[in-house]
Amino acid sequence: MKITKITTVVLLLLVVVIPWFNIDTGNDYSIPKVSQEDTSFYEVYPCKISLTEFILSNPESIYQNHFYFRPDNRSSIKCFGRVSGVTVLQKGLETQFFISIGTSSLINLLLQGLIWMVLFTLIPKNKELETSKETLRYKNLIIFLISYLLTFSIYAESRFYEKNMYLLDFQEMKSYLLIYLIFILLVKNFVEIFVSRSENLVNYSPYIYLITGLFSGFNLSFLAIVFLYYGLHSYLTGVKNQMFNYAYLIISVWWLFNSRGSAFFNVGKLRGFTSSIFEFNANLYWILFTYLLIKGIWRIYSLNKKSFNLSTFTKNLSITSTLLLIIGTLSANFPIFNFFSYYFLGLQRYGVESKAPFAFSQDVYELKISWRGIFPSSETIGEFYGLCILFLLFHIINSSKISPLNYIGIFASSLGLYFSDNRTSIVLIFLSTLIYVSIKSGMSLKLVKLKYVGLVALTLSAILIFAIQSSSFLDSYKFMSDAIISKAYIFKKEYAISSFTSLISGLESSSASSTVFGFISVVGYLLNRSEMWGIFVARYNPTYSELLFGSGPLNFGQLYGEVPVNSPDSFLLPHSSILSYLVFIGLIPLVILLIVFLKDLYTNRDNLEFLIFSIFIFTNIFKNDSMNYLSPFVLYATFYLLVKNKKDLISSKKSFIEQ
Amino acid sequence: MDEIVNICGLQPEGFVKIDISSDPNYVFKNDLNYAARQLFDGEGNTVFVNSYMECQHYVLGGWNYTPLKNSEILLQENLLYVVIALMVVTFFKNTAKRLFFK
């Protein structure tokens, strides 16, 4: 067992290190240092110097923060691991050096895929191999179908890939054949690995925050293959959830019928979990992807819920939060580490460059500057740290055997949460812990009186939010209820007004919908979301049917492509997963989901852990874009299923089977 | 059209395209103002052209490869063979595992 692990680690190290030694042995170059005055050597000799040679000639590039190593996916295969160009930029007093490293997209598929597969083998295998037999039905068919689906995504989003592939003709079948075969090889080997470890998939799910598994140059996540596999397996073996299947089929027909025109979307930090274009083929791919993802998560949970192990899960939460913090700090301090973490962990965005996670703004407000580490969003990683703290705290409260790792996890998560400056999570943790401890100790409250507790908690939260934003006291309700629409008017262009702006501004003040929207606006104001939601209103331009049924899952093309707004320079998401999903699936499915959620809350009203975690997750996704990232989507869904279906998941000594 | 510009340069002013294919005995005239260019076909053969018209004619006829493009296509083909070889290895490894280790 130990020998296998050592072999795995050695193999991993070799795979990680070797590509950056791609030296041009045919020539002997005298490599100069890069300087502000002269980068001519790198202009004359692109793709001749390996990354290792560059670092040896410029050792300061390892630690000096004005060096930026960037993958050049649109480079030749021969150029892999070599410096394909150097650009000098002057930003204020700082001279920045951008060093492009050749990372051919085709090689990325194989290299990154291999690394992640090797990492996956570190997950312990199933105790009984027989249990995995059921999941092997239709295995080969599923492998071919997934490979086909992934290749189809390249075809569907060829406009995105044209910018990321070097000399690959997207009009030729030959190009797709190569990609298809690479996918078959990857999927086949990966399936063999994860099927034999299926029991531990839920226990090791927190690592999805650490290893996002995005192929450099692709809008694809390697880890999504796991969910696609189980999703397809669930479909082919006829696992019954007819209601969902029929509803999804009907709405999909509408989405496809509605996929007219073409609107490109710069995926940015949402890469791997959003469509790069609003078109028929791309919409078809993301409809299938989302369907299989949901079914896959459900299938993995239902097949492996009995294998859920609380101590392993908490251990992995602790390790993940600690590693996120350590790697984030290293990435911020060492440019070369920033590049490697981006590449080897398959990140959506380069790690943060700020070396000062404790920093406050220099203006009159002196606000804490959020620090996100290697995760693309500081708020979302704050939620993760918050979830870790809650889970670990509850575990510590209930367990007599606490590993030191749990304390390290609590410390790392607390620090990470403070760095991320997610104040909502901080407030929710405080309230949740207070309620949990009170009820568990039986000192003051009984679980049956939870509705009163909820009411008090809600009132306290409202007061606290009011207190944080003390100026709010002076503002009238009317002002707050008009906050979003007035912001929308600020951001809209004179010549282009979105249908949603017209709809809201046309509401009669006495109508019920106006009251509802006014209340949402007040909540948005209190959560400091008026501006973001105002921009959303100014942009969102649905037809009546699109408002009711959306325009397709994970597709922002229409929202960002139709109506121009006077938006700030940077790219801004809606800052509410509810608003994102309003664009994707529309009002009716969203309301149905909300009803299902409320019904779940009511049915499980005596399940304290479920109530706390689901309210924590819901509050965060209400005011944040979390559900636009694959990692939170998977973890929250798994978490929700876990705590919903097992009362006292953390405090109970009984396993799933016993319950 | 972009490809012709990339390889042959911008079209000279007053350039008139002649249908050369209808005249198999056509002899290209050298243009003293045109810097000679070396063109390649998919098999690595090479030819020098001395006028924009000659260059355009050859590029449209398939002499549109560059050494870089040729080398990349070759590498992509090699990659294809490597992938196929790995697939075969995977297949045999799994078959052997199924037959001998169960």
pLDDT in tens, B27-51: 888 888 888 888 888 777 888 889 9
- A648 or A384: whose pLDDT is higher? A384
Q: Which residues of B touch chain A, with CB atoms under 8 Å apart?
A: 68-69, 71-73, 75-76, 79-80, 83-84, 86-87, 90, 94
A184 chain-B contacts, CB cut-off 8 A: 87
What integer pLDDT is reported at residue A657 of this predicted model?
46
The pair of structure tokens assigned to A119 is: 């990492």
**What pLDDT, on the 0 to 100 scale, is given for residue A443?**
57
Q: Which residues of B touch A78 (CB under 8 A)?
A: 71-72, 75
pLDDT band at B17 (very low <50, low <70, confident <90, very high): confident
- Chain-chain contact of A106 with B87 (C-beta, under 8 angstroms): no
Q: Looking at the complex, report in whole angstroms how far the Cα of residue A182 sits from the nearest Cα belonging to chain B.
A: 6
Rounded Cα distance, A21 and A11, in Å: 16
A565 falls in which pLDDT band (50, 70, 90)? confident
* A587 HSE (CA, 13 A, CB side): 8
pLDDT above 70 (res A535) = yes
More confident residue, A505 or A470: A505
Nearest-CB residue to B84 (from A181, A188, A192): A181
Q: Does position B13 have pLDDT exceeding 60, yes or no?
A: yes
Residue of A nearest to B68 (CA): A76
Would you say A417 and A460 are in contact if contact means Cβ atoms under 8 Å apart?
Answer: no
* pLDDT value at A476 more than 90: no
**A131: DSSP letter:** G
CB < 8 Å to A185, chain B: 83, 86-87, 90
Rounded to whole angstroms, the Cα distance separating A332 from A479 reads 42
- The phi, psi pair for B40, rounded to 5°, reads -130, 150
d(CA A27, CA A412): 48
DSSP A494-511: SS---HHHHHHHTS-TTS
pLDDT tens by residue, A371-403 = 999 999 999 999 999 999 999 999 888 887 778
What value does the mean pLDDT take over residues A105-132?
Answer: 87
Q: What is the DSSP string of A52-69?
A: HHHHHH-GGGGT-TTEEE
The distance of A80 to chain B (nearest Cα, Å) reads 12
pLDDT digits (tens, 9 = 90+) for A240-272: 788 899 999 999 999 999 998 889 999 999 999
Mean pLDDT of A44-55: 91
- Look over chain A and give the mean of its residue pLDDT values, rounded to a whole number: 88
pLDDT attached to residue A319 = 96
Closest to A226 (Cα-Cα) out of A62, A116, A338, A329: A116
pLDDT in tens, A340-378: 999 999 999 999 988 888 888 888 778 888 999 999 999
Closest residue on chain B to A187 (Cα)? B87
The pLDDT of A313-332, averaged and rounded, is 95
From the list A456, A455, A507, A448, the residue with the least C-alpha distance to A481 is A507
Strand, coil or helix: what is A480? helix
pTM score: 0.89
- B72 to chain A nearest CA, in Å? 6
User: A94-102 and A67-72: which strand pairing?
Assistant: parallel
- Contacts of A558 by beta carbon, 8 Å cutoff, 6+ apart: A263, A278, A541, A542, A546, A551, A583
- pLDDT of residue A658 exceeding 70, the answer is no
Which tens digit of pLDDT belongs to each residue from A182-220?
999 999 999 999 998 999 999 999 999 999 999 999 999
Q: Flag whether pLDDT at B4 surpasses 90.
A: no
Name the percent of chain A lying above pLDDT 70. Answer: 93
Tokens of A516: 């509802």
Say if residues B46 and B38 touch (Cβ distance below 8 Å).
yes
Question: In the structure, what pLDDT confidence band is assigned to residue A659 with cuts at 50, 70 and 90?
Answer: very low
Which residues does A contribute to its contact with B (CB < 8 Å)?
76-78, 106-107, 110, 166-168, 177-178, 181-182, 184-185, 188-189, 192
Asked whether the beta carbons of residue B87 and residue A185 sit closer than 8 angstroms, the reply is yes
Model confidence pLDDT, tens digit, residues A59-68: 999 999 999 9
How distant is the Cα of A129 from the closest Cα of chain B, in angstroms? 11
Q: What does the pLDDT look like over A232-246, one tens digit per residue?
A: 999 998 777 888 999
CB contact under 8 A, B75 and A188: no
Tell me what the mean pLDDT of segment A583-587 comes to: 95
**Mutation site, A24, A82, A140, A181, interface B, largest B CB count within 10 A:** A181
